[in-house]
Amino acid sequence: MKRLVQLTVIILGVTGLLYIGSLYVDRSEGTASSDTLNIFNWGDYIDPALLEQFEEETGYRVVYETFDSNEAMYTKVQQGGTAYDLAIPSEYMIDRMIQEELVLPLDHSKIEGLEHIDPAFLDLAFDPDNQYSIPYFWGTLGIIYNDKMINEDEIQSWSDLWNSEYNEDIMLIDGAREIIGIGLETKGYSLNSKNDEELADAFELLKGLAPNVKALVADEIKMYMIQEEAPIAVTFSGEAADMMWENASLHYILPEEGSNLWFDNMVIPKTAQNTEAAYAFINFMLKPEIAAQNADYIGYSTPNQDAMALLPEETISDVQFYPTDEMMENLEVYENLGYEYLGKYNDLFLEFKMLRRD
C-alpha cells in the first residue's frame, strides 16, 4: 500500500513537471500576451517563419492546428467545441459552408490589401463578391511525367494519356470529380456538366483509359513519383511542385484541353472567438512580400499579382504553374453540383474503379 501511494505521488510529480515544461515551451514560443489566434490549416501549408513574424508584428500568439482533408475540417467546425478563428478550406467546401452558415461574412472595411489580388481570382461563383473568403493559394489539375521514361513533348493533352504505349503506366488521383472531369474535358464538355448524355459519353471514353491505369491513389502519389515507381501521374499542381523539388526528372504539364482550377481561401468560421486577430492575419497574408515568401516556401501559385513581381523570374515564367491568360480561359472552377449530380459523378467513378482489365 505504502509503495503504491509513493508511486502515485511520483507520477503526480512528473505530471506537474510536464505541465510546467509545456508552459515553459509556450512562453519561449511567442509573446506572453493572452491574445491568441487559432488557425486551422492544411498540414505544411505555410512558411513557419511567417507565423513568427506575424506574432512579432502584431503581438497575437498563434495556435496553429492542421487538418488533412476538407471533410475533416468541416466536421470539426460543424460539431462545435472548437474555437478556430481562421481556416483555409478549398472552394467547393467554402460553397457548402456558406450554404450551411458555418462561416462568417467578412467586413471588407477591415481588410486592407485586397487590391493586390489578381481580379481574375475574385468574385467567383462559389463566393460572389468575396463576401466570405479571401484567396490564399490556387492551382490546377494536370499531368506529371518523368523524363527518364517519357520523352519531352510526348504528352501535351489529356487525350495523350490514351496512348496504348502507356499500358499500366499512369497513376490517377483518387477523386470522382477529377477523373470524370478528365473524360469531360477530353470530350470538350464542361467540368460541371449536368447533362446525362455528356456524362455517359465521358464515361465511355474513360473505359478506354482503364488499361493504362496503374493505380488510383491519393497523397501517396507524391512519394511514388519521387521514387519513380510510375512514369506518369495525374495530380494537383501544388503536389507536383513538391515532387519536382525532390526529383529533377519530373515535369508538370497543364493539358491543352483545359483543366480544373482550384482555390484554397481564408475564411472565418462561425467558431471564431477573436475575429480582430483573424482580420489582422488576413491583412498580413495579403501583403505582397509576405505572400511572395510564402509562395516561394510552399511552391503553390499565389493569387497575389504584386507578390508575383517579387518572385524569382524562373518561377513565374513557368507557364505550367502561372499559365498565360489564353490557357487560363480553358480552366474551370468546380461548382456545387447538388446532391443528385454529385451522386451520379460518384457512381460513374465507382463503376470506373470496378472496370475489369483482362
Partner 1 sequence: MKKLKFSWSNAYLFLIFALLYTPIIYLIYYSFNQAGTMNEFTGFTTEHYGSLADDTRLIRIALDTFRVALLSSLIATIIGTLGAIGIFFVSQRKTQVALLGLNNVLLVSPDVIIGASFLLLFTMAGFRLGFYSVLFSHIAFSIPIVVLMVLPKLQEMNLNMITAAKDLGANNWQVLKSVIIPSITPGVLAGYFMAFTYSIDDFAVTFFVTGNGFATLSVEIYSRARQGISLEIYALSTILFILALGLVSGYYFVQKQQRNRKRKLTDIDSANHQKAVSP
C-alpha distance from residue 64 to each of 48, 77, 85, 247, 279 (Å): 10, 15, 10, 30, 16
The one-letter code for the residue type at 67 is F
Please tell me the distance from the alpha carbon of residue 50 to that of residue 225, in angstroms, as a whole number. 30
Binding mask 265-284 for partner 1 (x = CB under 8 A): --------------------
- 142 touches 235 (CB < 8 A): yes
CA 311, CA 245: separation in Å to the nearest integer?
16
* Minimum distance, C-beta of residue 7 to partner 1, in the bound complex (Å): 8
**Ligand-binding site membership of 252 (annotated):** no
Stretch that binds partner 1, among 21-29, 206-214, 307-315, 320-328 (CB under 8 A): 21-29
For the bound state, the minimum distance from the C-beta of residue 221 to partner 1, rounded and expressed in Å, comes to 10
For residue 167, give the C-alpha cell.
Answer: 499500358
Q: Should residue 149 be labelled a site residue for partner 1 when binding is judged by CB under 8 A?
A: no
Other Cβ atoms closer than 10 A to 192: 17
Taking CB under 8 A as the rule, does residue 43 contact partner 1? Answer: yes
C-alpha cell at 107: 467586413
Phi, psi (rounded to 5 degrees) for 330: -85, -5
Listed ranges 58-66, 109-117, 153-161, 335-343: which one lies at the site for partner 1 (CB under 8 A): 58-66
C-beta of 218: minimal distance to partner 1 in Å? 9
DSSP 91-128: HHHHHHHHHTT-BPPP-GGG---GGGB-GGGSSBTTBG
Q: Considering beta carbons, is residue 72 or 350 the nearer one to partner 1?
A: 72
Using the CB atoms, write b or e for 199-228: b if 16+ within 10 Å. Answer: bebbbebbeebeebbbebbeeebbebbbee
By beta-carbon proximity to partner 1, the closer residue of 193 and 274 is 274
Among 222, 253, 264, 280, indicate the residue that binds partner 1 (CB under 8 A): 222
Cα separation, 171 vs 234, whole angstroms: 6
Q: How many residues bind partner 1 (CB under 8 A)?
A: 40
**Is residue 337 a contact partner of residue 194, using CB atoms and an 8 Å limit?**
yes
Interface with partner 1 (CB under 8 A), residue from 32, 34, 79, 152? 79
- The minimum distance between CB 93 and partner 1, in angstroms, equals 16
Q: Is 67 near partner 1 (CB under 8 A)?
A: yes
Pick between residue 7 and residue 149 the one whose CB is nearest to partner 1: 7
Which position among 71, 100, 204, 219 is part of the footprint of partner 1 (CB under 8 A)? 219
Q: Interface with partner 1 by CB under 8 A: which range of 40-48, 133-141, 258-266, 346-354?
A: 40-48
Does residue number 216 form part of the binding site for partner 1 (CB under 8 A)? no
Rg of the chain over CA atoms, in angstroms?
Answer: 23
Nearest Cα to 291, choosing from 53, 93, 65? 53
223 near partner 1, rule: CB under 8 A: yes
Near partner 1 in 234-253, by CB under 8 A:
242, 246
Residue window 1-20: x/- pattern of binding to partner 1, with contact defined by CB under 8 A: x-xx--xx--xx-xx--xx-
Please state the closest distance from residue 273 (CB atom) to partner 1, in A: 10
Rounded Cα distance, 232 and 295, in Å: 25
- Contacts to partner 1 by CB under 8 A: 1, 3-4, 7-8, 11-12, 14-15, 18-19, 21-22, 25-26, 28-29, 38, 42-44, 63-68, 76, 79-83, 219, 222-223, 226-227, 242, 246
